[in-house]
Structure 1
Amino acid sequence: MEVIAIQKSALDGMTNELKALLELTENATMKYISIFKEEKWLDNQEVCLMMKITKRTLQTYKDKGLLPYSKLNRKNYYKLSDVRALLEAGQPYNTNDNGFTDE
């Protein structure tokens, strides 16, 4: 076991810096909390499972503007209400058993 000794002032400085970083992180995420509390958001996999479609079909929905989405950290998210609305309206494209899309 290795023991490393540092001065108390250095430890206090590191502790203060970590607290400041934690506060910055909390402040940065606070602006997104209200967005996620208002509505449930789904990722690609959850949407595909819910709609029983392939990832390619989901991409087609996005490309044609049929399913709005938001991008956060290079990941797409979809509002549950938008997915439900598309399901209720009837999926514009259906996939075959082999995964290809009928257009």
Structure 2
Amino acid sequence: MEVIAIQKSALEGMKNELKALLELTESATRKYSSIFKEEQWLDNQEVCLMMNITKRTLQTYKDKGVLPYSKLNRKNYYKLSDVRALLEAGQPYNTNDNGFTNK
């Protein structure tokens, strides 16, 4: 076993930084938890499976503003209600077997 000795002040500084990081994490969690409790959110894969579309078609929906989305930590999320509304309205673009869209 390796033993490393550091000054007590350095250890206290590390503890304080870890506490601050924990507080930031808890704050962010509280900030966004109410948003996620109000509405069920889906990621890209869940939307593609639910709508039976390819990732490229989903990208087209995003690019054309057909399906609204929110980005959190570089990941896209979609409201379940928006996905259901699009399904009920009929998908504006259909994909063929090779994943390309037909307009």
Using structure 1 for the length normalisation, give the TM-score.
0.84
In structure 1, C-alpha distance between the alignment counterparts of 2:100 and 2:3, rounded to whole Å: 61
For structure 1, which segment, 34-43 or 20-29, has the greater mean C-alpha deviation from structure 2 after superposition? 20-29
Question: Shift in Å at residue 9 of structure 1?
Answer: 5.3
Moved over 4 A (4+): 7-10
Point out the more displaced range, 29-38 or 2-11: 2-11
1:67-93: CA deviations, max 9, x gaps? 111112222111011001111111111
SS of corresponding position for 1:18: helix
> Which residues of structure 1 form unaligned runs of 5+?
none
- Offset at residue 36 of structure 1 (A): 0.8
The residue number in structure 1 matching 2:67 is 67
Task: Name 2:79's counterpart in structure 1.
Answer: 79
Instruction: Quote the Cα distance in structure 1 between the aligned partners of 2:97 and 2:67.
Output: 23
- Give me the whole-angstrom Cα distance separating, in 2, the residues matched to 1:22 and 1:82: 34
Cα separation, 2, equivalents of 1:12 and 1:91: 58
Q: CA 1:90–1:17 in 2, change beyond 3 Å: closer, same or farther? A: same
Cα deviation for residue 26 of structure 1 reads 0.9
How many residues in Structure 1 have an aligned counterpart in Structure 2?
103
Cα root mean square deviation, aligned: 1.7
